[in-house]
Amino acid sequence: MSISEVYGEFRCGKTQLSHTMSVMAQLPKDMGGAEGKVAYIDTEGTFRPERIAQIAERFGVDPDSALENIAYARALNSEHQLELLNTLSKEFVGGEYRLLIIDSIMNCFRVDYCGRGELADRQQKLNQFLMKLAHMAEEFNVCVLMTNQVQSDPGASALFAGADGRKPVGGHILAHASTTRVLLRKGRGDERVAKIQDSPDCPEREAIYVITNGGINDPDKI
């Protein structure tokens, strides 16, 4: 299965998308779901059970049931983040899980390796993590959704940066590990815009969305 990355600045809805997908993955296939459980690795402490409950109600899912089907873990540092993958490998053997969310992929690595002199070590550890992630996605047929932060880089290429010169953190190692990359940005008023930056299956295109009590939604459907 593929690894999808969504990245953008603060308040673009990355965590809200993660919460919404945590519920949608549990839905029946005829409702666009995957009929499976979800594993959620939280590196920033932003997971909110009450949001899951609100989103579940929107889709007609029992809130308690929705929460029971989410295996949640808070990653304390980059080493712990890798340990959690090893733990999840044992959980995934049963074949009940359909989605693994990491929100966000780079937070712990940026904290643990914050100096320029540590960049090479950071990228080596990141590569180790991503190789394990790709192996799990393939072995257990699990989709991976990871969120990412952005940083300014006026000289970045179009592949790795948006029109405003911002690029996702993680460098080429993360870029090549992601099958699909989606940029999230602020639009007019409460609207947000999702743009496919790189995908083997889809052309570049944009979609407008809003953040509601029921999670990420189409503005025409609220």
Which neighbouring-strand residues pair with 4? 145, 180
Is 159 inside a domain boundary? Answer: yes
Is 111 inside a domain boundary? Answer: yes
Query: What's the rounded Cα separation, in Å, for the pair 70 and 68?
Result: 6
Rounded mean pLDDT for each run of 10 residues along the chain, 222 residues in total: 92 96 97 96 98 98 98 98 96 96 97 89 96 96 96 61 72 94 94 94 93 94 76
Query: What's the rounded Cα separation, in Å, for the pair 35 and 6?
Result: 23
The answer to whether the CB of 42 falls within 8 A of the CB of 103 is yes
Query: What's the rounded Cα separation, in Å, for the pair 89 and 208?
Result: 35
74 is in which domain, residue-wise? Answer: 3-184
Q: Report pLDDT for 163.
A: 53
Q: Report pLDDT for 156.
A: 52
Is 221 inside a domain boundary? Answer: no
The answer to whether the CB of 165 falls within 8 A of the CB of 121 is no
State how many domains the chain has.
Answer: 1
Is 193 inside a domain boundary? Answer: no
